Every structure is written in C-alpha cells, then in structure tokens.
C-alpha cells in the first residue's frame, strides 16, 4: 500500500451529537494511530464529538454551516492543497465535493461514506418528495469514484437509488469498538437500577437512541409492558428528542411508570450498555446500528428488529441475537423473554463484532484512500465486508 505523504482530507458537517459524527471522530483517531496526518474540512462545527478529536488533526473551517454552500471554500482547499483523494461523509458532502471539484478542474478522487438506508428513511413519503431527494443524487453521484457503505443493505440500497455501479461500492464496517470502550463501560453507572447495589433478581433492559420515529420506541414500550406482565423487569431508554412527551404519555397509559426510566442523553452511555441484562433495538430503519454493535462488544445479550439495514448482518441472520419483525410488539416481547432466560454467551458476542473495531475500520478505509486508481483495492466489490 502506497502511503500518502500529504494529509488525508476529510470533508464533513458536524452538527449535534449524532452517530455519524462520533464514527468520523473514531475513524480519524484510527488514521492518526496508524501514523497518517489528517485535515478535517468542516462545514459546521456544532458537535460535542469534536472534543474527542485528536490534537494532531488539523481543523479547516470552511466558513459555512451549510454543506452545499461550503463547496466554494472546499474548492479553494482543493485548488491549493491538491489532495489525491477526498473522503466525504454523508450524501450532501459527497454532492458538494463533486461541485467543488468541477469548479477547480483538479483530479482529486472522491470517496463517499454513506451510512443511511435512504429508501427505508423515505418510505411513506410522496412520490414528489422522493423524486426531490433522489434527483440530485442521481445527477451528481456519477462524479464520485467510489462509495464506502457501512453495511451490505446500505450498499444495495445506494446502488438502486443512485443508479450507481454496485462494483464501485465497498462495504466497510463502522469504527464502533474503540480502545477505551471497555474502560468507559467499567465506570460507575449513574442510574440506581444499574449500580453495584441493584437487585439482581430484576433484570434491566436498555434501549438507546434519539427519541424519534426512526427508533420506534413506542413498540419497545408496548413490548416491555407485555413482558412485565409475565415477569419482573425494568426498562431504561437513554437519549433525548422530540418524542419524549408522547413516550411519557404512553408509559403513563400502560401504568408502568415505576419500571420505565427516560434519563435523557448520556455523555457516557457505556455503563448502561455494559451493565444491562439485555439491549433491545426497536428501530424501523438503520444504516448500521452502532449501539447494537457496542452492546455486543461489551458482552450484553441483544434482540433487534429485522429492519433495513444492518441488524441482520451484525447478528448473522439471528445467530447472535433474535431478530423480530418491525413494529411487532408481541414478537419483541417474546424475544426479550427468551433472551433473558437463555442469554447468548458473553465471549461469543464480543468475538462476533471484531470487524467493527476502530483499527480494522481505519485500515480498511486506508486501503481505499491510498490505493492507486485501477488497482484491486478500488475495483473489487466487498473485499473488506
């Protein structure tokens, strides 16, 4: 592999505390650990995850919080620095990168990282809304040399929606499992249901994510209410969002307020995941659910909806945890009961997610970023899946 002498250029918008921003920081930390310099080209810098950015990463503020409007400043960077390859994170960054390169006429290759199953996210929208979303993708993705997808499901969905050659999409797992994950999980959990004095006879189920439609926590709460009628248990959902009030009302209607807790966003969610008896993912769609991978890396048994996409790949078609239909509270409740009674062995879960380590993921990206155009690393599909 030919090593780049100039920094790896990463173009992204950092806004909020989302999983994409966290994965990008992990990835850049992996690049630095492997001895590669990094330039982070920022369209927006409002994210707590930037506090974890290595000091060795050079931050270049493009002067615009809007990704597409940052294309002019990005073009200036491309013209001045002339990087061999640009890693763009998320759809808008990829389209802005194509526009910026057209302005400059440089030969910088573009590698786009995608982590969303877009067709699932757009399900239920009008035909016009879908066209409005897909048209610019189909118009501009032809200018992108290669795409890195976080799962096979995202890869297949992207090829279909963007009319993009499948052989130019590679699957690279997210850099979820960091060197400090176990250390962070070993810190005291701030929730009394998961502290060292907890009543071990009452299992605790944990869910996590933004309180929004995608995560479908209403189904999890309904499933938990049914489970609680069969055995003592508790549920903690960590995260915040617009749906909090509706979820609180649902909890009150079921009369389970004493056994359900919504403690909000947690700077360190890992003591929750590591000390839980079970992690439950109830999402309607995902790209590759990081929190499911993290729970497994900590040895916590899991159940998940068989949503597009990611859970089926992570759980190897149900070998490492039960998969249930989306929105099926009865099936989810039964899966949680069976998993509590017959949990998957801890080490088996840990071994299942080794491909999702920060070092492995960063190495896979470097194989694409540092490959010469036309080599096997850029041609062969899914060699790193």
For the stretch 41-81, pLDDT in tens is: 999 777 888 889 999 999 999 988 888 889 999 999 999 99
CA distance 74 to 32: 22
pLDDT for position 378: 57
Question: Hey, CA dihedral for 370, 373, 376, 380, is it positive or negative?
Answer: positive
CA distance 322 to 339: 8
pLDDT for position 179: 92
CA distance 337 to 323: 13
CATH number at 181-355? 3.40.50.2000
Domains 8-175+357-379 and 181-355 share a fold: yes
Structure tokens at 356: 């999702």
CB 49 within 8 A of CB 21: yes
Give CA 363 to chain center in angstroms.
18
Q: Name which of 37, 50, 7, 287 is nearest 174 in CA terms.
A: 287
Structure tokens at 324: 């249930």
pLDDT for position 200: 86
Residue 217: which pLDDT band, with cuts at 50, 70 and 90? very high
For the stretch 95-138, pLDDT in tens is: 999 999 999 999 999 999 999 888 888 888 998 999 999 999 99
By percentage, how much of the chain surpasses pLDDT 90?
81
pTM, 2 dp = 0.86
Q: Does CATH number 3.40.50.2000 belong to domain 8-175+357-379?
A: yes
Domain ranges (residues) in the chain: 8-175+357-379, 181-355
């Amino acid at each position: 592999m030919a090593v780049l002498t100039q920094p790896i250029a990463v173009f992204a918008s950092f806004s909020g505390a989302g999983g994409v921003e966290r994965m990008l920081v992990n990835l850049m930390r992996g690049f630095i650990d492997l001895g590669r310099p990094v330039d982070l080209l920022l369209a927006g810098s409002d994210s707590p995850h930037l506090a974890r950015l290595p000091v060795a990463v050079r931050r270049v503020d493009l002067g615009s919080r809007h990704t597409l409007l940052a294309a002019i400043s990005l073009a200036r960077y491309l013209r001045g620095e002339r990087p061999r390859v640009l890693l763009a994170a998320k759809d808008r960054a990829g389209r802005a990168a194509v526009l910026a390169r057209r302005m400059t006429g440089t030969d910088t290759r573009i590698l786009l990282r995608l982590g969303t199953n877009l067709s699932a996210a757009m399900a239920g929208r009008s035909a016009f809304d879908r066209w409005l979303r897909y048209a610019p993708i189909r118009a501009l993705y032809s200018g992108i040399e290669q795409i890195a997808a976080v799962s096979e499901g995202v890869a297949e969905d992207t090829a279909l929606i963007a009319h993009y050659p499948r052989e130019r999409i590679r699957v690279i797992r997210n850099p979820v499992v960091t060197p400090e994950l176990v250390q962070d999980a070993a810190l005291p959990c701030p929730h009394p249901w998961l502290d060292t004095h907890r009543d071990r006879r009452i299992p605790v189920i944990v869910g996590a994510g933004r309180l929004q439609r995608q995560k479908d926590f209403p189904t999890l709460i309904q499933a938990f209410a049914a489970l609680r009628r069969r055995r003592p248990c508790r549920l903690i959902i960590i995260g915040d969002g617009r749906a909090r009030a509706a979820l609180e009302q649902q909890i009150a209607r079921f009369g389970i307020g004493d056994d359900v807790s919504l403690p909000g966003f947690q700077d360190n969610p890992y003591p929750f995941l590591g000390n839980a008896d079970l992690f439950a993912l109830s999402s309607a769609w995902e790209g590759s659910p990081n929190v499911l991978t993290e729970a497994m890396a900590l040895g916590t048994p899991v159940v998940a909806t068989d949503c597009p996409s990611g859970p089926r790949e992570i759980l190897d078609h149900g070998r490492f945890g039960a998969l249930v239909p989306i929105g099926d509270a009865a099936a989810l409740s039964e899966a949680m009961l069976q998993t509590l009674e017959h949990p998957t062995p801890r080490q088996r879960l840990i071994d299942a997610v080794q491909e999702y380590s920060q070092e492995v993921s960063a190495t896979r990206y470097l194989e694409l970023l540092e490959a010469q155009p036309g080599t096997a690393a850029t041609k062969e599909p899914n060699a790193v899946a």
